[in-house]
């Protein structure tokens, strides 16, 4: 049997269209659009593409988006000064500092310097702590996107066995915290986990965020499970060519899973849509505008 392929691209487009309507309503109420400031340090090509895509998506949805590109030689003091300026700027609703930072910069010190009320990545320790405690928090974008796809596919997640491969602060740990909040029974597996295949086979839900191309094989998956592939790995494919693969061997997994996200076109587009959602939420909280009522009385398209 072949799994349902979850169309993250289509889901992200529909979420972005709704956010564009909300951004227009916000702009009418606040007299300015919701605004995002992105900080990119250095010349990592993948980071540059991510930041550019985030800016393009934000502007397309009617948000203001400013990218601050600093050279790799930037010192900690100058980076902290930029973050302080963005914190103090009343027109900036959301701040993201693209990770990883170049060697020599202390990302922990930078992330703790971001105003938690503008922390659209949810990386500030205050938001990390709030999420861990099950309190309202800015939630990291990638796990938030994964959760929206899971809810769309499965509805209520209560009581499900969830296995998360990966324990990064960007995906694995916040993903596990979100799944606990959804009443799942959660296992965090990682590179030191013994019997990883067997652990994965326990999951009604399997989140692959290990950063290892096609690590998860078909026989690691419980038949009928929902598989969310967070990996984005570029593999050589002939002379001068490459192809993108996830952390799951899609060709094998699609024969066993009940539903699966593709790479590309799965988690990636949802991450960007969730960044816009977080920016709008921060903008509403900062201005005292009720997000729930932004579209009240407006005709649905």
Q: How far apart (Å, rounded) are the C-alpha atoms in residues 182 and 6?
A: 20
The nearest distance, CB 19 to ligand GUN, in angstroms, is 17
Q: Pick between residue 128 and residue 170 the one whose CB is nearest to ligand GUN.
A: 170
The nearest distance, CB 211 to ligand GUN, in angstroms, is 11
Cα dihedral angle (187, 191, 193, 195), rounded to 10 degrees?
110
**In contact, 140 and 252? CB cutoff 8 Å:** no
Q: 108-117: long-range contacts (C-beta < 8 A, 24 or more apart)?
A: 109/76, 109/80, 110/76, 110/79, 110/80, 110/83, 113/80, 113/83, 113/84, 113/87, 114/83, 114/87, 115/87, 117/282, 117/285, 117/286
Among 15, 157, 170, 184, binds ligand GUN (CB under 6 A): 170
Tell me which residue has its CB nearest to ligand GUN. Answer: 99
Q: How far apart (Å, rounded) are the C-alpha atoms in residues 180 and 252?
A: 29
Q: Pick between residue 65 and residue 98 the one whose CB is nearest to ligand GUN.
A: 98
Q: Confirm or reject binding of residue 98 to ligand GUN (CB under 6 A).
A: yes
- Kindly name the residue from 22, 64, 98, 144 that is annotated as catalytic: 98
- Kindly name the residue from 64, 93, 119, 121 that is annotated as catalytic: 121
Helix (H/G/I), strand (E/B), else coil: 178: helix
121 is catalytic: yes
- Number of residues counted as binding ligand GUN (CB under 6 A): 8
The nearest distance, CB 77 to ligand GUN, in angstroms, is 20
Among 142, 144, 261, 278, binds ligand GUN (CB under 6 A): 142
98 is catalytic: yes
Q: Confirm or reject binding of residue 93 to ligand GUN (CB under 6 A).
A: no
* Interacting residues toward ligand GUN by CB under 6 A: 96-99, 121, 141-142, 170
Q: Which residues are identified as catalytic? A: 54, 98, 121
């Amino acid at each position: 049997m072949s799994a349902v392929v979850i169309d993250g691209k289509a889901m992200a487009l529909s979420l972005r269209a709704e956010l564009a309507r909300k951004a227009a309503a916000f702009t009418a109420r606040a007299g300015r659009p919701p605004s995002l400031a992105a900080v990119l340090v250095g010349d990592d090509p993948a980071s540059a593409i991510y930041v550019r895509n985030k800016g393009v998506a934000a502007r397309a949805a009617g948000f203001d988006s400013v990218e601050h590109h600093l050279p790799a030689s930037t010192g900690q003091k100058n980076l902290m000064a930029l973050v302080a300026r963005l914190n103090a700027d009343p027109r900036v609703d959301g701040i993201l500092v693209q990770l990883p930072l170049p060697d020599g910069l202390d990302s922990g010190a930078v992330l703790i310097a971001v105003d938690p009320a503008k922390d659209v990545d949810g990386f500030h320790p205050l938001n990390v702590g709030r999420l861990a405690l099950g309190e309202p928090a800015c939630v990291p974008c990638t796990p938030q996107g994964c959760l929206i796809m899971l809810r769309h596919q499965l509805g209520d997640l209560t009581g499900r066995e969830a296995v998360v491969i990966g324990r990064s602060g960007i995906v694995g740990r916040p993903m596990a915290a979100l799944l606990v909040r959804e009443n799942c029974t959660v296992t965090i597996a990682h590179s030191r986990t013994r019997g990883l295949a067997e652990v994965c086979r326990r999951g009604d839900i399997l989140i692959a965020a290990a950063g290892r191309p096609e690590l998860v094989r078909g026989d690691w998956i419980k038949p009928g499970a929902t598989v969310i592939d967070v990996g984005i790995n570029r593999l050589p494919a002939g002379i001068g060519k490459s192809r993108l693969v996830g952390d799951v061997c899609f060709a094998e997994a699609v024969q066993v899973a009940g539903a699966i996200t593709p790479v590309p076109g799965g988690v990636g587009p949802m991450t960007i849509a969730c960044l816009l959602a977080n920016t709008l939420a921060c903008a509403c909280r900062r201005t005292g505008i009720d997000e729930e009522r932004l579209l009240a009385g407006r005709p649905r398209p």
